[in-house]
Chains A and B, each alone.
Chain A
Amino acid sequence: MTSSGRSLPIVPGQYQPALPTDRFIVAEPPDAEHVPMDVVFVGGGPAGLAGAIELARLARADAEAGGSLGDIQIAVLEKAGALGEHCLSGAVVNPAAFRALFPDMADGDFPFRAKVAGERVYFLTGSRAIRLPTPPTMRNHGNYVGSICEMVRWLGERAEAAGVNIFTGFPVASLLVEHDRVIGVRTTPSGLERDGTRGPAYTPPTDLTARVTVLAEGTRGSLTQAYCRWRGIGSANPPLFALGVKELWESARPLDAVVHTLGWPLPNDAFGGTFMYPLGGNQIAVGVVVGLDYRQASLDAHELLQRLKLHPLFRSYLQGGEMIEWGAKTIPEGGDWALAERRYGDGLLVTGDAAGFVEVASLKGIHYAMQSGIFAARAIFDALKMQDTSAAALASYDQMVKDSYITRDLYERRNMRLAFQHGGLYGGGIKAGLMTVTRGAFPGGRIASERDADVARTSDGVAHVPPDGKLTFSKLDAVFRSGNATRDDIPSHLIVGQDVPPAVADFYAHLCPAGVYERDGDRLVVSPANCVDCKATDDVGPRWTPREGGSGAKYRSM
């Protein structure tokens, strides 16, 4: 490690550019050529698609019953080139929301790979794996292992069949607003040259108007952040995020159980763990999740995953196999205390990961996302019927969320994640245990937390794992396996602070799993085309903004 990295603690927030709210919130009338819609879902993941399906069905049922609503136009805008290509999750799925959305189907009809057949939790040291009793929050009996990409493609087919307009390759750049009201969205242009001039394939932005816009943009949604800033919507605690880095393997031998580990290779003062899931046949998902409030500037989640695979427990499955996909994504894990005061506004709702509906103790988010989409659809349907899509009319969405298992689960485990920011692995673990036993009554009150960006980092020179290209991979090889083939001559979509010191450049280089940031001497070198939209640096460093549609990862089975 460099001496520049060792000397002083870094507080990343000091170097973080401000959120460019004025880019995301645009008080302009829609373009004359705008596409009129009734409801626009921003994001074609589980939340947006479940919401669109439910809304299309409610509208159809209303029409068949001779209702007043008439034909409504629903759009889902997805930034990836095809549905699912930007979705990444573990994933062990609670089927509750699939059952709620498709009550006539059996679990076997859903796009899951396999039922959880067994589960094991280990505490790892560098060479050993010590079996632990499965914590009650992590019991997965009755859940299913699956690929979120496959779930999303399946939901997309159903949405399309229900008459939803699905537009892939159209990121939303801005919310169009009139006074306090969201009246639609503007997509990003495409075909720009690196300097921002129009290339031969230039396509201008398209405006879509909507009576209700639903933000279902996923983790660290830019529009959600900007909207909350614009409307002054706060939360008791700041949101917290983790970074997950995951690989999909054709393994040497099949795995028979869902495996979670604590301890090595994560440092004791970092919150997180690892997972290994059987996806049927010889496919295995393996990954590392680490809270972005970690204290070591040199912590590198991609490297941790590479090191993890060298552990006998993992190596025994993976060695001799083939890594077929790689990806990374942040996870909102602030829980109940970090939820926004409200998730509705005039002409607007926020759902899924964008709203922070992830329960970190059980590592679940997909069913909360889908369920929140379903609730959003019901609130919108009622609002459209009343011909009133004001904040007051849409507030029923928040009430449905509050009365549901989403809030119940997040509330019960509201302090677990926070205990770790203060107690580390051991102290936090004991406190989390007490919280589980008392169903959240211990310790009473709220544990305050810092923004990830405000946590000071010191460097301790962690050794680099030289990749062998078979079991372990460089970031460059990894990005190739994400399917990323972004044009490298488009304008940079990352907003980087001015005069980033070398120690901070090193911090970014370690933080970003996709090798977007490198330090060259005293200079920070940025390669935006590598970006897979994980949003890790958006939390503590350079800001992410939407770029040309179809850029970034092309995940198939993550």
Chain B
Amino acid sequence: MKIAVCIKRAADMETRFKIAADGRSIDEAGVKFDIADFDGFAVEAALQLKEKDGTGEVTVISLGKDAVQETLRKALSMGADKAVHLKTDAVPADALAIARVLAAELEGGGYDLMLFGRMAIDAANQSVGPMAAELLGVPCVSAASQLGVAGGRGTARRELEGAAEVLEFPLPAVVTIDEGIARPRLPSLKGIMAAKKKPLEVKPVQVGESRVTVIKMELPPERTGGRIIGEGPDAVPELVRLLQTEAKVL
């Protein structure tokens, strides 16, 4: 089974962000980058499918500047077999432009499964995976919390509000992965050594016109401090009252 996983290099969400001088992006100075959260789950899902199957190949693909090679190496050190760096100076805000580049790479790759994170943690579009599926003309399941393959067909579980559904679909297919799948493994020391020798192909790409642009980025308003309304059981009625009348969560 051939599996491709499209991963994005994104800022560690624990980072304290600053808006860059252009007012439209984050200041990358001192910011730590890693595989975007859900993309890490997608890599883990792919590795588990391959291990269960006992055979197969996992290719990780990332779009961006040279720094994404570090992200690809991390996926290789987790156990992916090959990496492709689609090299461009800037990743556009337009999800369709991104999906076109990725679909062009996936097309003809002979992949049975093409995995994405449910969304990139920094852009939160949730669009690139489904758009790539559309461009490739293959079935798409989004936000899968479990994924299995048997007899040329895939099964996926999706968590819904108050329920869950299990779907079946033919391969090849695109699946975007939610966090219910096992936590991404940490690279082992041997994995890191092995990753240095795994193939990482660099392909310069032209990203098409971006019809969506970021015109402004701002930080969320500072959280106002909490309030202590009392201690012990005596404070409960007041807490309930405030939760009903002020916070309006009850």
A201 CB contact (under 8 Å) in B30, B32, B183, B196? B183
Distance (Å) between the CB of A191 and the closest chain B CB?
8
Evaluate contact between B30 and A557: CB separation under 8 angstroms. Answer: yes
Given the known interface contacts A165-B193, A483-B14, the answer about A82 and B32 at a Cβ–Cβ threshold of 8 Å is: yes
Among B32, B189, B225, the residue within 8 A (CB) of A206 is: B189
Q: Nearest CB to that of B30 among chain A residues?
A: A556
Please determine whether A187 and B182 come into contact, CB atoms closer than 8 angstroms. Answer: no
Interface size on A, residues (CB 8 A): 24
- Type the 1/0 row for A524-558, where 1 means its CB is closer than 8 Å to any CB of B: 00000000000000000000000001100010110
B185-210 to A contact mask, C-beta < 8 Å, 1/0: 11011101100100000000000000
Question: Given that A200-B182, A469-B225 are contacting pairs, would A35 and B16 also be in contact in the complex, using a CB cutoff of 8 Å?
Answer: no
Residue from A35, A150, A557 in contact with B193 in the complex, judged by beta carbons closer than 8 Å = A35
A-B contact pairs, 20 of them (CB 8 A): A33-B190, A35-B190, A35-B193, A165-B196, A169-B186, A170-B189, A190-B186, A201-B183, A201-B186, A203-B186, A203-B188, A206-B188, A206-B189, A483-B14, A485-B14, A550-B186, A554-B14, A556-B30, A556-B32, A557-B30
* Chain B residues closer than 8 Å to A411, beta-carbon distance: none
On whether the beta carbons of A35 and B189 are closer than 8 Å, the reply is yes
Does A301 reach chain B (CB closer than 8 Å)? no
CB-based contact A549/B14 at 8 Å: no
Q: Least Cβ distance of A251 to chain B in Å?
A: 15
| Chain B neighbourhood of A82, CB < 8 A | 32
Q: Does A275 contact B (CB under 8 A)?
A: no
Report the Cα distance A165→B195, complex, angstroms.
11
Instruction: Tell me the A33-69 residues at the B interface (CB within 8 Å).
Output: 33, 35
Cβ of B30: which chain A residues have Cβ within 8 Å of it? 150, 556-557
Q: A208 interface residue, CB < 8 Å from B?
A: yes
Besides A203-B186, A554-B32, 10 other CB < 8 A contacts?
Answer: A33-B190, A35-B189, A82-B32, A150-B30, A169-B186, A201-B183, A201-B185, A201-B186, A203-B185, A203-B188
Q: Which residues in B have some Cβ–Cβ distance to A below 8 Å?
A: 14-16, 30, 32, 182-183, 185-186, 188-190, 192-193, 196, 225
Interfacial chain B residues near A208, Cβ < 8 Å: 189
Chain A residues contacting B32 (CB-CB under 8 Å) are: 82, 554, 556
Closest B residue, CB atoms, query A153: B30
B186-A549 in contact (CB<8A): yes
- Encode contact with B along A63-81: 1 for CB under 8 Å, 0 otherwise: 0000000000000000000
Q: Which residue of B lies closest to A77 (CB)?
A: B189
Residue of B nearest to A165 (CB): B193
Q: Which of B14, B15, B185, B192 contacts A167 (CB 8 A)?
A: B192
Cross-chain contact B183 with A167 (CB below 8 angstroms): no
Kindly state the separation between the CA atoms of A9 and B181 in the bound complex, as whole angstroms. 56
Give chain B residues whose Cβ lies under 8 Å from the Cβ of A363: none
Cβ of A163 to closest chain B Cβ, rounded Å? 10
A464 to B191, CA, bound (A): 50
Which residue of chain A has its CB nearest to the CB of B189? A206
Q: Closest residue to B184 on the A side, CB-wise?
A: A201
Which residue on B lies nearest to A169, using beta carbons? B186
A324 CB-CB contact with B under 8 Å = yes
| Contact yes or no, A187 B189, CB < 8 A | yes
What are the residues of chain A within 8 A of B192 when measuring CB–CB? 165, 167
Q: Could you tell me the distance between the alpha carbons of A208 and B186 in the complex, rounded to whole angstroms?
A: 18
Among B182, B185, B193, B225, find the residue whose CB has the most chain A CB atoms closer than 10 A: B193
Interface residues of A in 154-208 (CB under 8 A from B): 165, 167, 169-170, 187, 190, 200-201, 203, 206, 208
Question: Sorted from nearest, which 5 A-B pairs have the closest CB atoms?
Answer: A206-B189, A556-B30, A167-B189, A557-B30, A170-B189
Residues of A within 8 A of B193 (CB): 35, 165
Q: Give every chain B residue within 8 A of A556 (Cβ-Cβ).
A: 15, 30, 32
Chain B contacts for A206, CB-based, 8 A: 188-190
The proximity string for A residues 243-276 relative to B, scoring 1 for CB distances below 8 Å and 0 otherwise, is: 0000000000000000000000000000000000
Q: Please give the distance in Å from B4's CB to the nearest CB on chain A.
A: 25
Query: With a CB–CB cut-off of 8 A, which chain A residues contact B190?
Result: 33, 35, 206
